[in-house]
Amino acid sequence: MPLKAVILIGGPQKGTRFRPLSFEVPKPLFPVAGVPMVQHHIEACAKVPGMKEILLMGFYQPHEALSRFLVSAQQEFKIPIRYLQEYAALGTGGGIYHFRDQILSGGAEAFFVLNADVCSEFPLQEMLEFRQQHGDAHSFVILGTTANRTQALNYGCIVANADTQEVQHYVEKPSTFVSEIINCGIYLFTPDIFQHIGEVFQRNQQELVLEESSNGWQRAEVIRLEQDVFTALAGSGKLYVYKTDGFWSQIKSAGSAIYASRLYLNQYSKSHPERLAQNKPGGPVIRGNVYIHPTASIDSTAVLGPNVSIGEGVTVGAGVRVRESIVLHGASLHDHTCVLNTIVGWDSTIGRWARVEGTPSDPNPNDPYAKIDSETLFRDGRLTPSITILGCSVTIPAEVVILNSIVLPHKELSRSYKNQIIL
């Protein structure tokens, strides 16, 4: 069966909780477990038999990093990958409606839509099989997972028939408890979906004509898949939920990128152990799951892991300790530095014996359904302790401590900092 996949990558106004990292690279290209965030989506889509084309959809201006990524991903996964640019932010449903011809070209009988800012096992094949078993070849499937009662309120909540898994009720981010089954932002649609989105579009248009709005056409095309489409489809017999127990998380904040890296590295240990660094004579000490780019230079007395990703061309000196961190390309960690729960930005330098440490925002380990809180930066006017982020080309002097801080790009620090945003 000919299939396609659309990855919703948003645009520059999105991903502000990802600053200052999203200044340098669009959030969908931020490396998680050593590769750009959306490469995990692409790899999963490319594996599905019948996948003809993968479309990245967003409202970024075309730029070099994105084009380079598309070229290399096409080569690696041997599948056509294109970027479709929305003329404005059209919402999660507006873009796919606008580009429906492109999606259906080549005779696609079904297609996946994936939010870029999630990390998942992407059980796409299972979603296809689930739809097969539920008889109706024209139904739509939402990937769902279980959250705890309080955190469920931050997601799209799904009430489904216990036997058939048909969605009876859908509410996006309710204010009171509705269900602990939440929307994972991964969908399987047939071309029929465009009828339903089309209805929303028509309705929007009529309403806007009545309002005599000058740019009614444009605003009619802004459609939210969740609020505008799923809510209406609930109870119509066309929308199903496939529940997964596999790993899943949103990647909204930089802190969740470290958590997502951990989930993907853990997946590598089962599916692609060759991607993980091994302890070998003359090499650094590896604890747990660690990704090291082949061009990185690591001293044999360094101790890395668990959950460490070391990027291209990174230098790690003697006696360096890194744990629960992402070190981006070109960074340099001098001798005896200690880096914990931190994202070290591109080309940043950490002087010897410096300690750069953040506070992890991991989900409650005692609750199997807990999700990571994409906390706001400030609570009660104070910076909430979070992972430490060094923007691009930051210089940390020797022997200082940087704790729970966010350092904006191109900053040369001269002392210790704690719980601060350093502009």
Written as six digits, the tokens of 347 are 């080309």
Total number of residues that touch ligand GDP (CB under 6 A)? 17
Q: Which residue has the tokens 């070209």?
A: 105
Positions in 284-313 near another protein (CB under 8 A): 301
Residue 278: strand, helix, or coil: coil
Query: With the CA atoms of 268, 324, 372 and 19 taken in that order, what torsion angle do they form, in degrees rounded to the nearest 10?
Result: -110
Answer for which of 21, 70, 90, 143 binds ligand GDP (CB under 6 A) is: 90
Answer for which of 3, 51, 73, 117 binds ligand GDP (CB under 6 A) is: 117
Total number of residues that touch another protein (CB under 8 A)? 17
Span interacting with another protein, options 104-112, 117-125, 225-233, 396-404, rule CB under 8 A: 396-404
Please say which residue, 10 or 317, places its beta carbon nearer to another protein. 317
349 binds, among another protein, ligand GDP, none (CB under 5 to 8 A by kind): none
Instruction: Sketch the per residue contact string, 250 through 289, with another protein: x for CB under 8 A, - otherwise.
Output: ----------------------------------------
The answer to the question of residue 113 lying near ligand GDP (CB under 6 A) is no
Residues 6+ apart with CB under 8 A from 26: 9, 12, 15, 60, 63, 65, 66
Peptide bond into 20 cis (omega under 30): yes
Please say which residue, 86 or 357, places its beta carbon nearer to another protein. 357
Please say which residue, 353 or 369, places its beta carbon nearer to another protein. 353
Q: How far is the CB of 319 from another protein (least distance, A)?
A: 4
Supply the DSSP string of 89-130, one letter for each residue: --HHHHHHHHTHHHHHTTT-SEEEEEETTEEE---HHHHHHH
Q: How far apart are CA 180 and CA 164, in angstroms?
A: 17
Written as six digits, the tokens of 238 are 């066309």
Answer for which of 319, 360, 397, 409 binds another protein (CB under 8 A) is: 319
The radius of gyration of the chain from alpha carbons, rounded to an integer in Å, stands at: 22
Q: How far apart are CA 348 and CA 338, in angstroms?
A: 14
Q: How far is the CB of 145 from ligand GDP (least distance, A)?
A: 14
Residues that bind another protein (CB under 8 A): 301, 318-321, 323, 335-336, 338, 340, 353, 355, 357, 399, 401, 403, 418
